[in-house]
Amino acid sequence: MSSFGTIVVTGGAGFIGSAVIRHLIGSTMATVVNVDKLTYAGNLESLADVADNPRYRFERLDICDFDAVREVFARHRPDAVLHLAAESHVDRSIDGPRVFVETNVVGTYTLLEVARAYWQDLEPTAKSRFRFHHVSTDEVYGSLPAEGLFTEDMPYHPNSPYSASKASSDHLVRAWHHTYGLPVLITNCSNNYGPYQFPEKLIPVVILSALAGKQLPIYGTGDNVRDWLYVDDHAVALHLVLSRGTIGETYNIGGHNERTNLEVVRSICGILDELCPDSPLRPHASLISFVTDRLGHDKRYAIDATKIGRDLGWKPSETFESGLRNTVEWYLNNRVWWERVLSGSYRQTANDAEIGKTRRHAV
Ligand SMILES: NC(=O)c1ccc[n+]([C@@H]2O[C@H](COP(=O)([O-])OP(=O)(O)OC[C@H]3O[C@@H](n4cnc5c(N)ncnc54)[C@H](O)[C@@H]3O)[C@@H](O)[C@H]2O)c1
Distance CA 277, CA 265 (A): 18
Letter for the amino acid at 204? P
What's the confidence (pLDDT) of residue 352?
76
**Known active-site residue 139:** yes
State whether the beta carbon of 191 lies less than 6 angstroms from ligand 1.
yes
Whole-model pTM: value is: 0.96
What's the confidence (pLDDT) of residue 350?
74
C-beta separation of 281 from 210 below 8 A: yes
3-state DSSP assignment of residue 7: strand
The list of the chain residues with pLDDT below 70 reads: 1-2, 353-363
Local structure of residue 156 (DSSP, 8 states): P
pLDDT digits (tens, 9 = 90+) for 85-102: 999 999 999 999 999 999
Distance CA 69, CA 359 (A): 21
3-state DSSP assignment of residue 147: coil
Distance CA 155, CA 147 (A): 17
Question: For residue 92, with 0-12 CB atoms within 10 Å meaning exposed, 13-18 middle and 19 or more buried, which class applies?
Answer: middle
Local structure of residue 344 (DSSP, 8 states): T
Pocket mutation for ligand 1, best pick of 10, 16, 33, 87 (most atoms within 8 Å of C-beta): 16
Local structure of residue 281 (DSSP, 8 states): T
What's the confidence (pLDDT) of residue 295?
81
What's the confidence (pLDDT) of residue 348?
85
Question: Can you say whether residue 144 is alpha, beta or left, with left for phi > 0 and alpha for psi between -120 and 50 degrees?
Answer: beta
What's the confidence (pLDDT) of residue 357?
56
What's the confidence (pLDDT) of residue 303?
96
**Does the N-terminal peptide bond of residue 283 adopt cis geometry, omega within 30 degrees of 0?**
yes
**Known active-site residue 258:** no
State whether the beta carbon of 196 lies less than 6 angstroms from ligand 1.
no
